[in-house]
Structure 1
């Protein structure tokens, strides 16, 4: 675990602002991640001083403290990224924590720069080395893909597939990653709010409602089955929400997927609660919570890592069965998901590991933002309704950018 840095030259004279920390990291070309856990008022930031931040399959139990940022699919363009917490900030503390093994000279350079940074609000951020294949999918193409998916499901080629799309919008004048992060803090109190900026990879931000894998400081493992979507209005609430058969079936498929992952490792003792209606921003979803007390299950010391590798990509972002659904996505979506529907979150902090699916997110390009959203397709799906669902989901990041209207 990190230790508090002491020394006159190493410690800033006053608590640094979030803007100053992010700006200093980017000015020095360093990877940085900021986040706030659900229902918390504390933001956290870690800065990596490492030359190599790419990793293979994450092993959570032996990982150092830091932040994972992993793509939908690992390939030559998109890698698993680990932002080690060489320097760690917490909004409740005045001084940063520095990892014992962090390079003292690099730490000193960062903290010295931090004392003079943040005086101006720069609009600089990292952009990706490659924009991948395609970015946007027009309405006609998306609806055609949904129709093809329904036909494939009716032909029993798969049970469900998640089709997503991307939307490009101009970045408003005066917008900065930090201003976007601060807007998300207010708009999404129940989500993991994140800002990840990595040289060569790009700058991503989002507010995800979906836990992938969590292992807290008491060795309690958690995951969820989250699916089904409807907008929340003044006339609706979690108490009077009415769900269609399509959403109920979609959520049941995700729930079954989680249970099948437990079966694969022969884990039988788990707690299941739900499904229940939950609120995420401007939307409601169906969610089932799963919990395992690892202290009572000594045969599963690596449950977090084992379930991470089994679950990702989940039925909620890919489909069932996984293999034909993934093949359909790669053939019909027409664009590169990159880190959308991958996973991200802090690993081995003082309160454990919390990894979330990278949903309700956007990537910042030079002068544009790429927003992402998807919908689960079953045999009951309507192309018009699935298109509208993606519109609702895109609204979360449009509000962060300052636009509320649909295209």
Structure 2
């Protein structure tokens, strides 16, 4: 199914929600659909794929679920309004073998890559700016070009991620002219489940997870505690902007995501009891890009990133996920991810910079975060 979609130049997404173990996929039989401003409540069933910078060169894209697959039934289902001719052509093409390939955004030399000295000097500059009162926090990221194994397969890699990281959102998105992205994200941006419960999280602070060690024994430095508190305060500020008072807050608590531990606070709103039908869309507009991937205050942090990071984040630290599926809408921040090129993968990772940040420790944090995808590549 995946190879047929790629061969016919269609957009497709495959994903598995945390703790479900159920692989799902959708394919659009139409050209790329651009969504200037996502309207989650009115959207048809499909998959959103949106960039980091709202006003940048990359567009919000929507993969409409003309075809939908779930591993639970093993069936490919067509939407009621599917283009009939394209659907019949796709079904016929399923019977023909297709090569193992994926959509790519361009050759490796078209991308800029961050070296260690550039990243650490950027962190030092950010610490100076924070101490001077220009902002409270900024998230700086970097990318790295890794050779793809000769026998690499995106679908096999997705299944490996599903097995290795069952507690996070794993995804594979491939769009003609845009490229192919894979990731294992621990961070919910906004979701509304089938029970009509809205959910978002404050996730920040990072340390390596030690095999066999309980989360109860995690010790957090003041830097990580304050970083996570900043994200919490930003979510509460968004609630206040919307004049929303009825919510539950649980945390912060330590969670394990892949090879890392984080601090996480969950915020939930029962929309059956709170009359706020557009809460998901309204919070999405206020939150993105979140303080966990951008900084605080948002405007000076974003400006600092664009002027000092030295590469185009593209869809890294944007958001993605299914919209109006049978299990609801579930949008995640595009973290712990990689972009597939023809023979290489671009790995992405970032770190939250505060007044107490040490440039070398922040570099090490990005190294730990890149291990999430390196472990998958190492299986080939």
Q: Give the whole-Å Cα distance in 1 for the aligned partners of 2:110 and 2:3.
A: 30
Shift in alpha-carbon separation, 1:236–1:172, aligned structure 2, 3 A? same
Name the residue aligned to 1:77: 57
> What are the Cα deviations for residues 176-231 of structure 1, in whole angstroms up to 9, with x where unaligned?
11121111111110111100000000000000000000001121100000000000
Q: Give the whole-Å Cα distance in 2 for the aligned partners of 1:188 and 1:337.
A: 24
Task: Output the aligned Cα RMSD.
Answer: 1.5
Q: Give the whole-Å Cα distance in 2 for the aligned partners of 1:403 and 1:317.
A: 29
Name the residue aligned to 1:356: 332
Name the residue aligned to 2:132: 155
Structure-to-structure mapping, 1:289-368, within 5 angstroms: 289-298=266-275, 300-368=276-344
**Residue 77 of structure 1: how far off its partner (Å):** 3.5
**Residue 366 of structure 1: how far off its partner (Å):** 1.1
Shift in alpha-carbon separation, 1:88–1:248, aligned structure 2, 3 A? same
Matching of residue 221 in structure 1 with residue 198 in structure 2: yes
Name the residue aligned to 2:263: 286
**Residue 248 of structure 1: how far off its partner (Å):** 0.2
Contact 1:123 1:174 in 2 (8 A): no
> What are the Cα deviations for residues 320-366 of structure 1, in whole angstroms up to 9, with x where unaligned?
00000000000110000000000000000011000000000000011
Q: What secondary structure, in the 3-state scheme, does the structure 2 residue paired with 1:296 have? A: coil
Contact 2:48 2:60 in 1 (8 A): yes
Within the candidate set 232, 236, 254, 2:213 is matched to 236
Q: What secondary structure, in the 3-state scheme, does the structure 2 residue paired with 1:127 have? A: coil
Shift in alpha-carbon separation, 1:53–1:228, aligned structure 2, 3 A? same
Contact 1:135 1:167 in 2 (8 A): no
Q: What secondary structure, in the 3-state scheme, does the structure 2 residue paired with 1:77 have? A: coil
Matching of residue 141 in structure 1 with residue 118 in structure 2: yes
Name the residue aligned to 1:111: 91
Name the residue aligned to 1:374: 350
Q: Give the whole-Å Cα distance in 2 for the aligned partners of 1:163 and 1:395.
A: 18
Shift in alpha-carbon separation, 1:76–1:380, aligned structure 2, 3 A? closer
Query: Which runs of 5 or more residues in structure 2 are unaligned?
Result: none
> What are the Cα deviations for residues 49-73 of structure 1, in whole angstroms up to 9, with x where unaligned?
1224111111000000000000001
Structure-to-structure mapping, 1:33-52, within 5 angstroms: 33-52=13-32
Stretches of 4+ aligned residues off by more than 2 angstroms: 74-77, 115-118, 129-135, 234-237
Name the residue aligned to 2:365: 389
Q: Give the whole-Å Cα distance in 1 for the aligned partners of 2:105 and 2:33.
A: 15
Q: Give the whole-Å Cα distance in 2 for the aligned partners of 1:90 and 1:217.
A: 17
Q: TM-score, normalised by structure 1?
A: 0.91
Shift in alpha-carbon separation, 1:232–1:76, aligned structure 2, 3 A? closer
> What are the Cα deviations for residues 33-59 of structure 1, in whole angstroms up to 9, with x where unaligned?
000000112100100012241111110
Q: Give the whole-Å Cα distance in 2 for the aligned partners of 1:131 and 1:321.
A: 34
Contact 1:127 1:366 in 2 (8 A): yes
Q: Give the whole-Å Cα distance in 1 for the aligned partners of 2:110 and 2:143.
A: 12
Contact 1:204 1:362 in 2 (8 A): yes
Contact 2:32 2:63 in 1 (8 A): no
Q: Give the whole-Å Cα distance in 2 for the aligned partners of 1:117 and 1:272.
A: 51
Contact 2:13 2:26 in 1 (8 A): yes
Q: What secondary structure, in the 3-state scheme, does the structure 1 residue paired with 2:88 have? A: helix
Matching of residue 202 in structure 1 with residue 174 in structure 2: no
Contact 1:87 1:99 in 2 (8 A): yes
Q: Give the whole-Å Cα distance in 2 for the aligned partners of 1:219 and 1:130.
A: 43
More displaced 10-residue stretch of structure 1: 386-395 or 69-78: 69-78
> What are the Cα deviations for residues 61-118 of structure 1, in whole angstroms up to 9, with x where unaligned?
0000000000001456311010000000001113221111111111111111112336
Query: Which runs of 5 or more residues in structure 1 are unaligned?
Result: 1-20
Q: What secondary structure, in the 3-state scheme, does the structure 1 residue paired with 2:184 have? A: strand
**Residue 152 of structure 1: how far off its partner (Å):** 0.5
